[in-house]
Amino acid sequence: MTLYRLRMYMIANVNTSHASLIERQFWLLGQQGKNSAYNVNSIFLFENLDFTQFIASVNAVINTVEILRSSYEMIDGEIVRFDKFNQCTVIKRTFNDNFYEAINWVNQSCNQDFDLANEPLVKVITAKFNDSENLIIAISIHHIVIDLSSKDKIAKLISNAYNNSGKLTVSTRDNEIFNNYQSFSNNQSKWLLSPKGIKSANYWRGKLNNSSTIKLDTPRAKNYEHNSKGRSIEIALPKEIWQDLKKISQKNIISSYVILLTSYYLLLAKYSGESNFCIAVPLSNRKNSIFRNTIGCLVNTVPICVEFVDKDSVFDVLKKVRVALLEAHRHQEYPSIEIINDNLKKMGNKKLYRHGFTFEHPMKLDLKGVQGEVLYYEPLNSQLDLFLRLWEDEEQLYGYIEYDSSIFDNISAQRFRDSFKVLLTNLISNTDIAVSSLDYVREKDSTDIAKFNNTSVYFEDRLNLKLLFERQVENTPNNIALIYKDKRYTYREFNSEVNKLSHYLNNKGVKKGDVVAVVCERSISMMTAIYSILKLGAVYVPIDGELPKNRIDYMLSQSRVKAILTHSNIQFHFNKSAYDIFVLDHLECEITAFPNNNPEVEISSNDLAYIIFTSGSTGKPKGVMNLHSGIANVMLWMKADFKPVKGDVVLQKTPYSFDISLFEIYWPLLVGATVALAIPGSHKDVHQIQKQISQYQVTILHLVPSILNTFILAKPLKENSLCKVVCCGEELLSHSVNSFFKSYTSTELINIYGPTEAAIAVSCFRCNKNEKYKFVPIGKPISNTVIHILDKNLNQSPIGVVGELFIEGVQVAEGYVGNDILTQQQFFARSSSQDSLYKTGDLARWTNDGELEFLGRKDSQVKLSGLRIELSEIETIMHQYTNIQQSVAVIEKKPNGSMFIGILYTVENDQKEINESRLKNYLSKYLPIYMLPVFYMKLAKFPLTSSGKINRNQLPKIVLSQVKSFKKNKIKLTQIQQTVMDAWKTVLQHDNLSIEAHFFEVGGDSMSLMQVLNILDKVFPNRLKSVDLFRFVTIKSIACFLDIDGNRKITDVKETRANKIRSAMKRNIKPRKRHKECDV
């Protein structure tokens, strides 16, 4: 239907009108499944009511007020209002004196959707009782035809009609005033094009330019189902607080409304950690006196945006809120639907606000001879995430908080309500206090958090690893301590070898407190070296020999290494003249001559045990100094919690330069269990891991979650010896847990959390195979460990509110070696604590049952495949490269769920192109392989925030198919090539691939490589092993390897990032023989 035909249609149907912008907005909301959220409901308990007369009164009002007779339909893309219904819908039901059943039915009926086209938009819902004259009556009207001002007028008209035997008499003048809604609609359309309308449009666009949307949610329950429904809880402010608030209002000449709105805004700020955002506030939109008494929906919901800083006083923020509200009043005629659309076009922000505030009292009826009481109505569908509705009644403040139950649970909503009371009480008691010091934590939360942290357990004084190990040797001298390939060592034998090396080193000048580096691949020698250093009370530093020379030199120098223990098969480059170097396999004869008794060295629990280096934000790694007390505490906690049994075998597969390896290296030998040493380089190959689990009958295994995912994808072990799988190093996802228990029903899955700066683990969660997890907590604090969740001002966050995770207790490290400034920044004392706290930079929150929920990083530090990476370190190295102006390192997610590093950069001279290959080679000299970016994207400029900083939220997304665009293959693919191509496409979600593209350079990683292997293994059973895919990294080379009858040579594997990864992971693995040769 054309616009002309629509006009003709409306002329022919005289009872039709164009819907106003406000009506259109409510109609559209109804199409989005939010219809019943906009039912305006009023519920009463009446005694002595003439029901027939009451219905007649309601219908009399409907016949008087045109807008109440409306229905709405879309005609040719336009929403049209019809004058259609002159009577309300009446719904009745009789109950047997069960009041709660009756009120629940009425409430449910009030929450039913209106059919805006086919039924009256006014309902009267009635519950009768068999043995009582009492009636529960609800008047339900859709918001599209009513607002608060109209509700009061309708209540007065119903009362007048009832008190006049159901007849309503209205003067001609009043009838014109009540029924001029269409004039308002026409006026609104004209006003938008007027200078005032354009001025208001510009105001709102400028006002919202830098505003953000905050999203609060609740800790996610394990079996919590998102139902996208609304709930509410009542709130009542004690009379004395309300009176105090009024006094503050009069003293500062600030309305009670502004004080309450400010309190609500500050509480949202505290809960979200943001200080510049929008909340929705409905304004009457009746500035024009002509429409002051018009009945209909004129209300306009506008965003109130306030920006404050922590040093602002409460009074400062009160003034800012008042100014924002006054400005909003001046520009309240600009329709909210236009504000939202403008914001969507400019900022791409669909949700301008998620939280609302209003003063909205219930409908009141004055019916002669009738005793009435207003009853509480509970919405079952929410307008916003959170909506605080308040009103004053009889010198007291009442209201309710309406919330979306898919986002908040009832406990969290109650906590928010109680926090509002606490904050408001503190606010009115001192308006000069800085907002950063404004307390909002309820006493119950503080008490509960103290209980969560009641972890004190006495382990004897002077504990250290040497003492614990030597005791275990005495207790189980004949137990098997180590297994490596076909070699086995008892505790007595291993201790004897360790003691000999200790005495040898001591004879060569190594003594207590010296720092000794270990550069070995996984072997008996590695274990002997580590334990011999421990026995002397020296400090060991594990060094990965594959690291760049500059990085190794820095680590050795920074930690003031005195000696280096290594093996002849290790080739690494460093300044050899500065250190005493002991090549262990060359010293076997010399070492044998030394005694095998325990060295008599007194070690204090406060002595350093080891230094482990992690990624650093300055471009240099930082060495974490951990004490014996910390590592001993976690070992003893694990002993008590994991409950080892005779015959337990732990697979040591984690590279020893990462702190979780300490669990595999130390814990088994402190509890009488066995350490099975995995083949070097096998820690990322799940097939090798599975093979060694079966070979050694491993009972306890540690897996990084990303490797766990690949482990699950592989065929389950035929004979499962695993009793426990321990996960840490990165976030454990719910789908991984659920999938794990499908294959390993008898194996326990344990999720632990802990940074290097706090000795392996500070919290633990045991997964339940009978739960279907929506998220996986990081658990509860372990023995002698206190976890604080603090806001940016180091104030305690309530349960359920996100803050930064701080660690206190015996496991907190001494600091960073040779870096006092960074140590002072990350380790510090808090006035309420005796011990120092470590600032993790992780975001977390407490759940209601005392579990901790991990929510990501506060800064740029991330974990990738269990490896901690400081993105700013990559950026620092990038900035030192010629012609790089700025760079930002990002972590992006591939369609298969795995993560990769990308770099976005700008150049100083646009005429000089950056050679990507040379840039990669440069970065590889300074960064470990796992920190090398996969993709690079050049930008003309970076998006900036209002303060001139790079706006990371506005950075373009790196999409694999856009970054690497390979030419389509012009040659016809062989059947094998096509099969491999299809497998790559399935896993990488990449449609444009060349058969010569390198797997690791088109977004592949070790996890996705295993997924490709699983696909190809179904087509080519037992023809491929994981090592083959690390050797043959292109479709062409894999196909050649599989094609027994082919005769082409492949020379497409060069010294690329893929080969570096392959070399690092698969060192010393020889290629399997095939019928034909594929050069690599």
> What does pLDDT average to in each consecutive run of 10 residues of the chain (1080 residues)?
52 74 86 81 95 97 96 83 95 92 95 93 96 92 95 96 94 92 92 94 85 75 52 90 92 92 96 88 93 94 91 94 95 90 64 89 94 89 91 88 88 94 94 93 95 92 90 96 95 97 96 96 95 97 89 93 91 77 92 94 95 82 95 95 94 92 96 96 86 95 86 84 92 85 93 94 95 88 96 93 94 94 89 79 93 83 67 82 86 72 86 83 78 86 59 74 47 87 85 76 68 84 76 82 53 39 36 33
Residues 147, 234 within the same domain: no
* Angle at alpha carbon of residue 735, lines to 741 and 992, rounded to 5°: 125
**Residue that is last in its domain, among 905, 926, 956:** 956
The strand order across the sheet containing 300-307 reads 230-237, 396-404, 386-393, 355-359, 276-283, 300-307
Residues 155, 208 within the same domain: no
Residues 100, 213 within the same domain: no
**Residue that is last in its domain, among 420, 440, 460:** 440
CB 79 within 8 A of CB 113: no
Helix (H, G, I), strand (E, B) or coil at 36: helix
The strand order across the sheet containing 78-83 reads 16-18, 78-83, 70-75
Residues 132, 17 within the same domain: yes
Residue 377 structure tokens: 């109505």
Place of tokens 């306890």: 700
- Give a yes or no: residue 618 inside a domain: no
Q: Which residues contact 499 (CB under 8 A, 6 or more apart)?
A: 532, 535, 594, 595, 596, 597, 598, 599
Q: What is the pLDDT of residue 341?
A: 79
Quick count: other Cβ atoms within 10 Å of Cβ 456? 10
How far apart CA 102 and CA 1019 sit, in angstroms, is 64
Q: Which residues contact 225 (CB under 8 A, 6 or more apart)?
A: none
Residues 310, 395 within the same domain: yes
Q: What is the pLDDT of residue 518?
A: 96
CB 514 within 8 A of CB 539: yes
Place of tokens 């005195």: 562
Residues 128, 66 within the same domain: yes
How far apart CA 921 and CA 932 sit, in angstroms, is 10
The b/e string for 725-759 (b: 16+ C-beta within 10 A; e otherwise) is bbbbbbbbbbebbbebbeebeebbbbbbbbbbbbb
- Give a yes or no: residue 198 inside a domain: yes
Residues 160, 290 within the same domain: no
Q: Which residues contact 363 (CB under 8 A, 6 or more apart)?
A: 42, 139, 151, 152, 154, 155, 374
* Angle at alpha carbon of residue 838, lines to 617 and 547, rounded to 5°: 35
Beta bridge pairs of residue 136: 45, 127
- Give a yes or no: residue 733 inside a domain: no
Q: What is the pLDDT of residue 898?
A: 67
How far apart CA 49 and CA 36 sit, in angstroms, is 28
CB 682 within 8 A of CB 688: yes
**CATH code of 891's domain:** 3.30.300.30
- Give a yes or no: residue 292 inside a domain: yes
CB 11 within 8 A of CB 343: no
Q: What is the pLDDT of residue 859?
A: 73
Of 628, 40, 134, nearest to 379 (Cα)? 40
DSSP 31: I
Please tell me the pTM assigned to this model: 0.81
* CA 762 vs CA 44, 453, 777: distances in Å: 55, 11, 13
Compute CA 703 distance to the chain's CA centroid, rounded to the nearest angstrom. 22
Residues 27, 171 within the same domain: yes
Residue 736 structure tokens: 């991984």
How far apart CA 572 and CA 559 sit, in angstroms, is 18
Quick count: other Cβ atoms within 10 Å of Cβ 342? 17
Q: What is the pLDDT of residue 896?
A: 58
- Give a yes or no: residue 827 inside a domain: no
How many structural domains compose the chain?
Answer: 4
Residues 114, 202 within the same domain: no
**CATH code of 327's domain:** 3.30.559.30
Q: Give all strands (DSSP E) within 908-1037, no chain letters.
A: 935-938
Residues 249, 333 within the same domain: yes
Of 774, 756, 777, 754, nearest to 765 (Cα)? 777
CB 963 within 8 A of CB 937: yes
Q: What is the dihedral of CA 432, 437, 442, 444, to 10 degrees?
A: -140
Residues 43, 143 within the same domain: yes
**CATH code of 1038's domain:** 1.10.1200.10
SS (H, E, C) 59-81: HHHHHHCHHHHEEEEEECCEEEE
Residue 1054 structure tokens: 């060069």
CB 253 within 8 A of CB 440: no
Q: Which residues contact 749 (CB under 8 A, 6 or more apart)?
A: 724, 725, 727, 737, 740, 741, 766, 767, 769
Q: What is the CA radius of gyration of the chain?
A: 36
How far apart CA 411 and CA 143 sit, in angstroms, is 29
Residue 311 structure tokens: 């040093």
Q: Which residues contact 1003 (CB under 8 A, 6 or more apart)?
A: 894, 900, 934, 935, 960, 964, 988, 990
How far apart CA 930 and CA 1057 sit, in angstroms, is 10
Q: Which amino acid does the sequence have at 1054?
A: K
How far apart CA 502 and CA 509 sit, in angstroms, is 11
Q: What is the dihedral of CA 16, 22, 27, 30, to 10 degrees?
A: -150
**CATH code of 9's domain:** 3.30.559.10
Place of tokens 């959220």: 37
- Give a yes or no: residue 60 inside a domain: yes
Residue 432 structure tokens: 């000069």
- Give a yes or no: residue 927 inside a domain: yes
The values of phi and psi at residue 1058, to 5°, are: -60, -40
Residues 932, 1050 within the same domain: no
**Residue that is last in its domain, among 408, 440, 472:** 440
Quick count: other Cβ atoms within 10 Å of Cβ 228? 12
CB 286 within 8 A of CB 412: no
Give the range of the structural domain holding residue 915, as residue numbers without chain letter: 861-956
How far apart CA 867 and CA 899 sit, in angstroms, is 12
Strand (E) or helix (H) holding 207:
helix 195-207
Beta bridge pairs of residue 11: none
- Give a yes or no: residue 611 inside a domain: no
* CA 308 vs CA 27, 206, 269, 435: distances in Å: 36, 17, 10, 9
